[in-house]
Amino acid sequence: MNPTSVDNAALLSTIDRVAMAFSRLKGIREGLVSAETNSGIQFDEWDWEVGVGLYGFLRRAISTNDQEALQDLVAWYSSQIRRGLPPRQINSTAPMLPLAILVEHVDRPEFRALVEDWAEWLVKELPKTEDGGFQHVVKERLNEGELWDDTLFMACLFLARAGVLFKRSEWIDEAVYQFVIHTRYLSDPVSGLWYHGWTFNGRHNFANAFWARGNAWITVAIPELFELVPMLGEKDRRYLSNVLASQVRSLKARQRPDGMFTTLLDDPASPVETSATAGIAYGILRGVDAGILDSSDRIYAERALSAVLARIDEEGVVHGVSDGTPMGHDLDFYRSIPNVPTPYGQALTMLLLTEVVLERGHQQ
């Protein structure tokens, strides 16, 4: 499938189908606002999967000045706050990123107060590893002494944007430091690819796995940081630009002819994986937009887009997504994870498709 042959109306319809399937996978009634139902946002759970989806929804609403969509977001966050939010950890921080941006567009003091308090918690109370890294605490376990690559997207982007919002340069500095310290322990200097995790308890990278979806979070997080923090210093921009460029060079060399990436990036025999493919494509497009990557890199994102579109069924379900992936201690752990429809596969696909629609709008 040639993505340039798919018009915006078809892409918008696909986004709506993917969003509705997202909601069904979460076991609730409706998804993001639909042209048919005008149902608003009814994801009845505060977690990282919803946070990723809401971030794409918010970007689209702001770019198109969709005031109704912004009010849908206000209603969703208000409902969640009234009900009571879950315990704070890395993954439950993900919905805070769209909230930190939303408060710049709506007058809701209680939202601002929550953003400020949560950012303070990250800096002062979240457990830290040796060298001051954000320990990858999740609801299931503390992961003592561990750094995981998805922390940068789930928590550090929010902290950086909160620093911009409240003019707290120390928060921005802390967020950037987390990018630096995670690069030190998770980025392979030979290939530029990222390991899934690092533990100070034994000082190793677990299975030394170049896990595809983990790498996708990095491909996304670095250009997002550039947009979220316009005043990012030149030294930090230069360093992180080179980190991303090094990673993308290896990603391009490991992309399959059909546009897909495999679960283990350096093992072409491992299963192909759609959520990573969508995330990497989205990150490449954002990297080109940020001026980090060359415009010629778009072709790799377009190949990935074609592959992702081919894996969306008529009901909007994204297929070929690997199941939830805790830290593996051997490579066969990653090879054996089954591919099943998942909410995060839906969310990353929505981000990619929304970005393509927005880019086309800017080019018109």
Which option is the CATH number for 3-363: 1.50.10.10, 3.40.50.2020, 3.40.50.1980, 2.40.50.140?
Answer: 1.50.10.10
List the structure tokens of 136: 């990858």
Residue 147 has pLDDT above 50, yes or no: yes
Over residues 56-111, the pLDDT tens digits come to 888 888 888 889 989 989 999 999 999 999 999 999 999 999 999 999 999 999 99
CA distance 247 to 252: 9
CA distance 140 to 86: 13
CB 206 within 8 A of CB 327: yes
The helix-helix angle for 212-228 and 274-289 (nearest 10°) equals: 30
Over residues 310-327, the pLDDT tens digits come to 999 999 999 999 998 999
**Torsion from C-alpha of 2, 36, 22, 104, nearest 10 degrees:** 90
Q: How many CB atoms lie within 10 A of CB 221?
A: 26
Higher pLDDT, 22 or 327: 327
pLDDT of residue 26: 62
Mean pLDDT of 274-302: 97
pLDDT of residue 63: 84
- Backbone φ, ψ for residue 338 (5° rounding): -75, 155
Residue 363 has pLDDT above 80, yes or no: no
List the structure tokens of 187: 């980025």
pLDDT of residue 38: 40
Q: Any idea which residue has 């500095």 for tokens?
A: 173
pLDDT of residue 125: 98
Give the chain's mean pLDDT: 92
Map out the domains of the chain as residue ranges: 3-363
